[in-house]
């Protein structure tokens, strides 16, 4: 049986410090948590949580770098 879980990072909504991570099945994944507040030791306060799938930013960068470059107009 294939492992369909993904690793999700919990980030501080203010300083983007990693607060934790967890694995969740794709079908149960919920990245938005509008009312979820978590404690950030860097900010020393309760902040809104940002959830992001591990590797998402790198995947976007790789895709954008694979696009053909436009030619400069003369």
Q: SS3 breakdown of the chain: % helix, strand, coil, rounded to 5? A: 20, 40, 40
Residue 70 in domain: no
DSSP annotation of 17: -
Q: Which tens digit of pLDDT belongs to each residue from 14-70?
A: 999 999 999 988 888 777 766 778 899 999 999 998 888 888 888 888 898 888 887
pLDDT higher at 72 or 44: 44
Residue 10 above 80 pLDDT? yes
What is d(CA 66, CA 46) in angstroms, rounded to the nearest whole number?
39
Residue 22 in domain: yes
Residue 69 in domain: no
What is d(CA 72, CA 23) in angstroms, rounded to the nearest whole number?
45
How many domains are contained in the chain? 1
Residue 23 in domain: yes
Residues forming a β-bridge with 18: 11
**Boundaries of domain holding 55:** 5-64
Q: Which two tokens stand for residue 34?
A: 């509008």
Residue 29 in domain: yes
Confidence grade of residue 1 (pLDDT, cut at 50, 70, 90): very low
């Amino acid at each position: 049986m294939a492992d369909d879980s993904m690793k999700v990072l919990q980030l501080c909504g203010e300083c983007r410090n990693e607060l934790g991570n967890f694995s969740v099945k794709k079908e149960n994944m919920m990245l938005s948590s509008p009312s979820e507040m978590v404690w950030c030791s860097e900010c020393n306060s309760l902040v809104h949580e940002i959830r992001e799938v591990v590797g998402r930013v790198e995947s976007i960068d790789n895709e954008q770098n694979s696009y053909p470059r436009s030619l400069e107009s003369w």
